[in-house]
A and B are shown apart, each in its own frame.
Chain A
Amino acid sequence: MIDRILASRQSQLALFALLAFAVPLLLSGNRYFAFIAGITLVHVLWASGMNLLYGYTGLMPLMFAGIAGISSYLVVGLTSIGWSFWLAMPVGALAASLVGVVLGLPALRLKGFYFTLCSLVIQTVITLAFVYFVNLTNGDTGISQIPLPTLPGGASLHGLPYDLVLAALAVIGVFVLIRLVDSGFGRRLIAVREDDELAETLGIGVTRQKLTAFFVGSLYAGIGGAFYTPYVGFISPRSFDVLISLNVWLMVAFGGRGTIWGPVIGAVLLAPVPFLLQDYYMIKDVVYGLLIIGVIVLLPAGIVGGLVRRPKPDPEIVPATVGEGAR
């Protein structure tokens, strides 16, 4: 009975929404735990955006955090010159999506490792730019005491209401992803992921699908970045460097790429890890590194992909041949 109810995506989404709103309410007595829950919800949103690109389109964008950072710095800059957060947020998120589309252009020519390397280079350039343009970003020192969003009436959004806003964003993010994946657009993306040349011959506009995926995925990054910034109150180039991209990627890969709930579970399990390791924060990088290796070696399909779908026998082993290097 419960099995059958849980089999439909609507009820899964309802259950997730229930948990997303209930957890901050239950934790509202302890601000620290509620804060961890809020950060986790932002990561759910980010992991869903990364999942659209990595899980469904088959591209691994290591500049994801950089795109979130562009939105974040833009929102901070605009609010500091007097804009309302509610005006600056959509502008920042939209700017991030447009930048994401432009930075996604290499995906039209490059696949697999070459695209990932390219995105790593782009991420490095973005991080260098955050450090280099000191008058806009305050360089390595970072920006602190970022004001909270104000509500009509002059109060500021903080504490439990802010957590609930983040919960709503995470639920909307997952809902939109479900709708996208179940639509024709989602099926075309999967066709592109599996074989983009074949997809092209079937009349699918590969360019359009890929760029749309970048627009939507970067919108997730941008909205997440915009709401993350006042919530945490401090940003620096390190808040959006390649390690953050890798962490979000790890949530998707660990949970199960190309499934709706895998990355959500990955984010819920991994986003709190840095807080649990607070007293041993030095070993955080080592733990993440070990997890990355563990996922690649032991769980290539992720938790959900490995358990829910019966593992298929290994695909026929294709020996490496000439021309491999050129791909």
Chain B
Amino acid sequence: MSDATLIILLSTLTTGLMLGVIFSLVAVGVTIIYGSIWMPNAANGQFFLLASLFVWSATVSFGLHPAFAALLVIGASVPLSYLLEATLVRRFYDVPNRNISYFVLTLGITQILAGIFSITYGVWSDQFQIPPIVAGVTMIGPFPIANNRLAAMLIAGALLAALFALLRYHKYGRALRAVFQNRDAAALRGVDVRGIYRMSFVLGNAVVFAGGVLFACAYSFDLTVAWTMAITAFAIMIIGGPGSVLGALVIGIVFGFTQAIVSIFASPTVAAFSYLGAMLVILLFKPSGLFAR
């Protein structure tokens, strides 16, 4: 194999893996919230962008170290989620067919945040880039990869593994899965259902924020990433099966590689068309998704 093909191969592989872990992370955050509260968070893309933009502000405008800024922003998602939960989300916990109310509600939040971003950040710049957390370049054979991107990829992978372990083995994770499956039975067994709802809202958003922060560390971005991410995360959730963390993980990685491969020959619009098409097919013929429990 010549060096040129090897470089293309390795580049596709790393891009695919990088996008894949980010997609998985966001989709896991969205699916945790949908699986427990039954809330399709259409604003996930705006939350993702909010995290990216905050890290950008903290590093570029306030001169914080990017690693510190990243932790600060992920931490900031917690009080933000509590506030949203107490003011808006909690009202609908007992409403039948609440998923459509939540969907419209989060579309409203999307519109507000998109409006605010275009007034504020949209005026400042078109492209946002964050100074690297780690400097230098690693060579994989003939292919150079920025240490910064490699670090973001490893952190995202570690976060996914930790989440998976949390949901599978920890007491909270077991309670969460019990509420996923049967809210009443879980309540009878002494699970604090509302507490679990609140926890999963906070956890899910923190994961989406982490996705945004890591994406901002690895790539430069613009305001349109919110809309693309929202659609991608929803497509992954629907195809993987709403509420299925494993589904979000697997399909997220698949989507990452799809995007990396499609981008070699065609525009990202074609990748978007293919996600939307796949999502429509699954919605129509297997709405419970490929990894339904």
Contact = CB atoms under 8 A, between A and B. Distances in A.
A325 B97 contact: no
Contacts of A288: 108, 111
A202 interface: no
A113 B283 contact: no
Interface string B118-141: 110000000000000000000000
Contacts of B279: 121
B272 A128 contact: yes
B40 A289 contact: no
Nearest to A280: B119
B2 interface: no
A320 interface: yes
A118 B273 contact: no
A289 B231 contact: no
B124 to A, nearest CB: 14
B61 interface: no
B88 A112 contact: no
Contact of A60 (B91, B100, B110): B100
Contacts of A117: 40, 103, 234, 238, 283
Contact of A114 (B105, B107, B276, B283): B283
A286 B115 contact: yes
A234 interface: no
Interface stretch (A33-41, A204-212, A225-233, A292-300): A292-300
B181 interface: yes
The main secondary structure of chain B at its interface with chain A is helix
Nearest to A285: B115
Interface in A196-252: 243, 246, 249
A290 interface: yes
B264 interface: no
Interface residues of A, number: 44
A286 B273 contact: no
Interface string A277-321: 000001111101111110011001000000000000000011111
A132 interface: yes
A244 to B, nearest CB: 12
Contacts of B35: 325
A290 B108 contact: yes
B99 A319 contact: no
A36 to B, nearest CB: 22
Kindly list the 8 A-B residue pairs having the minimum CB-CB distance in the complex, ordered from nearest: A285-B115, A292-B108, A289-B112, A289-B111, A286-B115, A113-B99, A293-B108, A318-B96
Interface of B: 35, 38, 40, 88, 91, 94-97, 99-101, 103-105, 107-116, 118-119, 181-184, 231, 234, 238, 242-243, 269, 272-273, 276, 279-280, 283-284, 287-288
6 contacts: A109-B287, A121-B279, A124-B276, A132-B269, A285-B115, A288-B111
